[in-house]
Amino acid sequence: MDKETPHLCAECASRLGLTQYESKECDLCGGILQLTTLLDSVSPIFEYSTFSVGVVLPKEILQKEAELVSMYKLRSVRGIKTELNKKTREYLKKRLGKEADIEDPDAIFEINYVKQRVFYRIKSLTISGRYNKYDRGLPQTKWYCKSCRGRGCKKCNFLGKMYPTSVEEIIAAPLLEATHGKMTRFHGAGREDIDVQMLGDGRPFVIEILNPKVRTLDLEVMQSKINEDKRIHVTCLSACTKPLIEKLKNTKYKKTYIAYLDKKLTLEEISKIEKELTTEIEQRTPIRVSHRRSDKIRKRKVYKVIGKNNKTTELEVYCDGGLYIKELISGDKDRTIPSVSSILEKQMLCKELDVIKIHCDI
Ligand SMILES: [Zn+2]
Ligand SMILES: [Zn+2]
């Protein structure tokens, strides 16, 4: 650029307050501010009602502008990027007949002048609900094969995963089909072991659908499609916003379980358990999860235990979230204290386990 007499288009000249250098050519923006044909190639083929734009400019333009600003000691200049963003937004608003929304748009159009291309970023759809699980062989989320990490190998029958399906995949299938989304992310208010049923009014969850081409869904229809699979049951399906995900993940909700013991207890033993297990439990990370969880001692409270005898002894346990119930029964080689085993001074096991309530206000 000629440092003595820069040539600036009318837009740049007035923006920088250098009107004396106004010219037909522009050494700075090269005419981009006149809005190029690149903008006319913006043609989203997905559903959205609000959009925002992001402009990517060649580094040289930004450098040139910085040079001019320092050379002429310009102050409070509206930068070319800000200006172009605004102009582009206004232009596309008219052309596409859609609303601009800087805060939380359905889609962002990246106008990339370096690659001379337009990129589209579509906001995820987030849907909340509650699920029940009636199958003792179903994981909550897709469980990638340890050997191949999802690529597919002999060990996993070339599925890339350890189990044929999961709560997540059953819920995701009709949603992905309806939205033409790319994939899903599943966030539960905690998770149950694969062999544990989720009963009662279910476990709250949020499912994120990435890259959806359709945003308007009939959630009642979706819910009945999901519920055709009798291994799970979904209720309360509704649109939600992203902050709910953090809330679900970061809150420890109290839970109520029913644990089915491997041996039938006497009524005296049951009342001893009801009394002595209702206390603070010190639980070291169970052996069975120690390969994926850090080894530490947690303190969790048991608030109430009600025991009764049917085919076997059933203990209803109301407790803090994050307490491992199978180990609360077995004692896990004295890593959980007290436990049903330690109180009764005999080895007890949890034969089956159900979650019957997540104490959660969502
Ligand atoms: Zn210019
Ligand atoms: Zn594999």
In this structure, which residues have their CB less than 5 angstroms from ion ligand 2?
145, 147-148, 153, 155-156
- DSSP result, 283-305: EE--GGGTTTS---EEEEEEEEE
Q: Would the pLDDT of 297 be above 60?
A: yes
Residue 196: which CATH number? 3.30.70.2510
Q: Which ligand is nearest to the CA of 151?
A: 2
Q: Would the pLDDT of 44 be above 90?
A: yes
178: left (phi over 0), alpha (psi -120 to 50) or beta: alpha
Domain boundary among 63, 90, 122: 122
Q: What is the pLDDT of residue 315?
A: 98
5: confidence class by pLDDT, cuts 50, 70, 90: confident
Q: Would the pLDDT of 319 be above 90?
A: yes
Domain boundary among 219, 250, 281: 250
pLDDT tens digit sequence for 105-128: 999 999 999 999 999 999 999 999
Q: What is the pLDDT of residue 157?
A: 87
Write out the E strands in the chain. Answer: 50-56, 99-100, 107-112, 117-122, 125-133, 183-188, 197-210, 232-239, 254-261, 280-284, 297-309, 313-319, 336-337, 350-359
186 and 220 share a domain? yes
Question: Measured in angstroms, how far is the CA atom of residue 74 from the centroid of ligand 1?
Answer: 16
pLDDT tens digit sequence for 245-290: 999 988 889 999 999 999 999 999 999 999 999 999 999 999 999 8
Q: Would the pLDDT of 31 be above 90?
A: no
Question: Measured in angstroms, how far is the CA atom of residue 206 from the centroid of ligand 1?
Answer: 47
138 and 219 share a domain? yes
pLDDT tens digit sequence for 128-178: 999 999 999 999 998 888 889 889 999 888 889 989 999 999 999 999 999
105 and 139 share a domain? no
Give the whole-angstrom CA distance, residue 25 versus residue 60.
Answer: 17
Q: What is the pLDDT of residue 252?
A: 87
318 within a domain of the structure (yes/no): yes
Residue 274 dihedral angles phi and psi, to the nearest 5°: -55, -40
Q: Which ligand is nearest to the CA of 158?
A: 2
pLDDT tens digit sequence for 335-360: 999 999 999 999 999 999 999 999 98
Residue 307: which CATH number? 3.30.70.3190
Q: How many CB atoms lie within 10 A of CB 5?
A: 11
145 within a domain of the structure (yes/no): yes
Q: What is the pLDDT of residue 1?
A: 52
Whole-prediction pTM: 0.88
Catalytic residue ranges: 193
Q: Would the pLDDT of 2 be above 70?
A: no
Q: What is the pLDDT of residue 265?
A: 97
Question: Measured in angstroms, how far is the CA atom of residue 192 from the centroid of ligand 2?
Answer: 24
Q: Which ligand is nearest to the CA of 153?
A: 2
350 within a domain of the structure (yes/no): yes
Q: What is the pLDDT of residue 300?
A: 97
Q: Would the pLDDT of 232 be above 90?
A: yes
pLDDT tens digit sequence for 281-294: 999 999 999 888 89
Output helix, strand, coil percentages for the chain, rounded to the nearest 5: 30, 30, 40
Comparing 13-22, 227-236, 325-334, the range with the smallest average pLDDT is 13-22
Question: Measured in angstroms, how far is the CA atom of residue 77 from the centroid of ligand 1?
Answer: 14
pLDDT tens digit sequence for 168-200: 999 999 999 999 999 999 999 999 999 999 999
Give the whole-angstrom CA distance, residue 168 versus residue 140.
Answer: 6
Q: Which ligand is nearest to the CA of 152?
A: 2
41 within a domain of the structure (yes/no): yes
37: confidence class by pLDDT, cuts 50, 70, 90: confident
Question: Measured in angstroms, how far is the CA atom of residue 33 from the centroid of ligand 1?
Answer: 6
Question: Measured in angstroms, how far is the CA atom of residue 142 from the centroid of ligand 2?
Answer: 13
Tell me the two tokens of residue 291.
Answer: 């390969």
260 and 163 share a domain? no
4 within a domain of the structure (yes/no): no
110 and 135 share a domain? no
**Residue ranges making up the domain that contains 309:** 254-359
143 and 228 share a domain? yes
Q: Would the pLDDT of 3 be above 70?
A: no
Number of domains present in the structure of the chain: 3
Question: Measured in angstroms, how far is the CA atom of residue 90 from the centroid of ligand 2?
Answer: 50
**288 CB-near residues (< 8 Å, 6+ apart):** none
pLDDT tens digit sequence for 62-100: 999 999 999 999 888 889 999 999 999 999 999 999 999
2 within a domain of the structure (yes/no): no
Q: What is the pLDDT of residue 139?
A: 96
107 within a domain of the structure (yes/no): yes
23 and 139 share a domain? no
